[in-house]
Amino acid sequence: MTIAQIIFLIVAAGTLASAVIVVTTPNLVHAALWLVSTLFGVAVVFALLNAGFLAVVQVVVYIGAIAILFIFAVMLTRREQRDFGQQMNRFWWLGALVAVATFAGLAAMLQSWSGLSGAAAADLPIGFDSVGALGDALISPQAFVLPFEVASVLLLAALVGAVYVAFNRK
């Protein structure tokens, strides 16, 4: 067990536990806060993967924006949604079954995949700047500039759509 492995196990356990609380807690504000915890765990995992930029974006965008948005939404609709009472529908056992089956299926497939056992992460090349490389890739015509631009159009469309849908017509 290296230190990195120990850190990973702790972080992973925390992340999964937070995730379980997210989907089971009856209090939605708590759920959103536990989501922050989960997302933070994922950010640590990104850092462990040497994906520094993703880790930062995870903290800034997900925790800073999306999670806060959730909390706002919860508060806007909270008057009706009580914290007590049934939070899960009648088919929760079936849903649990499906979720377990999904996990089992994925695990089984991973077990039978030959590429899994031999894979070991190579060390990063000396002087490799993953943030710079990512920036190049995003705006290089040889790489991903088009998906990047399309993503920006998508964001704009989502912005307009969200304003339109949520606009309170009186």
**Which positions from 3 through 22 interact with other proteins, judged by CB under 8 A?**
4-5, 8, 12, 15-16, 19-20, 22
* Chain residues 39-58 in contact with other proteins, contact rule CB under 8 A: 39, 42, 45-46, 48-51, 53-54, 57-58
Q: Does 33 bind other proteins (CB under 8 A)?
A: no
Q: What minimum distance in Å lies between the beta carbon of 108 and other proteins?
A: 9
**Among 98, 114, 126, 127, interactor with other proteins by CB under 8 A:** 98
Q: Does 86 bind other proteins (CB under 8 A)?
A: yes
Neighbour-count burial of 3, counting CB atoms closer than 10 A to its CB (0-12 exposed, 13-18 middle, 19+ buried): exposed
139 touches other proteins by CB under 8 A: no
Instruction: Check binding of 68 to other proteins (CB under 8 A).
Output: no
Q: What is the DSSP letter of 58?
A: I
Measured distance CA(152)–CA(139) in Å, rounded = 12
What 8-state DSSP symbol labels residue 78? T
Please give the single-letter amino acid code of residue 43.
A
The dihedral region occupied by 85, where left means phi > 0, alpha psi between -120 and 50, and beta the remainder, is left
Q: What's the closest the beta carbon of residue 165 comes to other proteins, in angstroms?
A: 4
